[in-house]
Amino acid sequence: MAELLEVRWYGRGGMGAVTSAELVARAAISEGKYAQSFPSFGPERRGAPVIAFLRISDECIRTRTAINEPDVVVVLDPGLLRAVDVTSGLKKNGRIVINSRKSPTELKSEFGYKWPVAAVNATVIARETIGMPITNTAMIGALLRVAEAVKVDSVVEQLHERFGARAKGNIEAMKRAYKETVIEE
């Protein structure tokens, strides 16, 4: 059986969680893998909590349901850690990737996580590279550091396609977050 990577993204409307899942899925497809991404939200307004799902596999993906037992959860807004149980159903060997100025050790202690935690200050990175605190492309870099689901260059191609002239800052954000992500087992 092929290895299937399932990722649940948490963000707020307008933060780009849905876009992130789609960009990584497109990068996986460009590498000849199978992938799917889709959001889970109703008529929420900008700022309301949003969940996006991402699956990547070497074989055809037959399931089309929400991801209840993810391998990785990615949290774009650390404020959601108090509002939502982001670890619900997280596999025993799962990982948590959080946009936070706190260290993984501090986050594990504060929230009692028993899984490995990766943290990066994506908000600062986004402000410095894109000029806005939109953290989604930085968090793609953090995810790739933790899961190595696709090659960074494959996502770079997707960022060029999606953002055109604005791709430069987003690419810089992704690469910088990849380098700056701190992982604590």
Mean pLDDT per 10-residue interval, the chain, length 185 residues = 86 92 98 95 73 96 95 97 96 98 97 97 97 96 96 98 94 98 94
Helix (H, G, I), strand (E, B) or coil at 115: coil
Which pLDDT belongs to residue 48?
82
Model pLDDT, residue 1: 37
Residue 153 has a CB neighbour count (10 Å cut-off) of 10
Give the CA diameter of the chain: 44
Contact partners, residue 182, CB within 8 Å, separation at least 6: 103, 104, 118, 119, 120
State which fold the 4-184 domain adopts.
Answer: Pyruvate-ferredoxin Oxidoreductase; domain 3 (3.40.920)
- The pLDDT score that the predictor gives to residue 44 is 58
Q: What is the pLDDT of residue 49?
A: 87
Provide the 8-state DSSP code for 44: P
Domain-by-domain residue ranges, the chain?
A: 4-184
The tokens describing 78, both together, are 């650390």
Q: Tell me, what's the pLDDT at 80? A: 96
Q: Per DSSP, what are the bridge partners of residue 38?
A: 53
| Alpha-carbon gap, residue 2 to 131, rounded angstroms | 40
Q: Give tens-digit pLDDT for 68-119.
A: 999 999 999 999 999 999 999 999 999 999 999 999 999 999 999 999 999 9
